[in-house]
């Protein structure tokens, strides 16, 4: 396994286990509320909430590295065709999306509604 994919796998494992992690350009931090954040080059690309909800974004960077880090996460399958990214077989613009919601009354997968709130308010 290449070091490139190993970092992705190890970072995903840390994020899903709510453990701090840092290697190369990738970091996982856990805040006092219990939520874990996956960062690539300082940009948050995934959030694993304390309640188990998993959210992802490309953070404006449709790169091979971003795709690799996100594809290591459960419930995430990203591929590219004709310069368009697809998330779980639906075209995806890279904005924040919920890929897993453990609440049986909530959506299991879906777009986070656009609001006037800042990104930080939606994520944190």
DSSP string for residues in 47-91: EE-TTS-EEE--TT---HHHHHHHHTSTT--EEEETTEEEETTEE
Question: The pTM is what?
Answer: 0.82
DSSP string for residues in 77-89: -EEEETTEEEETT
pLDDT tens for residues 4-35?
Answer: 799 999 999 999 999 999 999 999 999 999 99
Token pair belonging to 118: 């800042």
DSSP code for 11: H
* CA atoms within 13 A of residue 80's CA, in its CB half-sphere: 13
Mean pLDDT over the full length of the chain: 87
* CA atoms within 13 A of residue 52's CA, in its CB half-sphere: 10
- Whole-number percent of the chain with pLDDT over 90: 77
Q: What mean pLDDT is predicted for residues 36-57? A: 97
Token pair belonging to 40: 């690539």
Surface-to-core class of residue 87, CB atoms within 10 Å of its CB (0-12 exposed, 13-18 middle, 19+ buried): buried
pLDDT tens for residues 100-112?
Answer: 988 766 555 444 5
């Amino acid at each position: 396994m290449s070091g490139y994919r190993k970092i992705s796998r190890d970072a995903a494992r840390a994020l899903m286990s709510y453990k701090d992690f840092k290697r190369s350009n990738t970091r996982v931090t856990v805040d006092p509320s219990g939520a874990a954040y996956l960062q690539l080059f300082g940009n948050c690309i995934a959030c694993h909430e304390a309640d188990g909800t998993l959210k992802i974004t490309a953070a404006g960077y449709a790169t091979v590295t971003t795709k690799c880090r996100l594809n290591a996460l459960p419930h995430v399958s990203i591929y590219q065709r004709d310069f368009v990214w697809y998330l779980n077989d639906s075209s995806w613009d890279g904005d924040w999306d919920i890929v897993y919601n453990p609440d049986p009354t909530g959506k299991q997968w879906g777009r986070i509604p656009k609001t006037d709130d800042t990104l930080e308010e939606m994520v944190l």
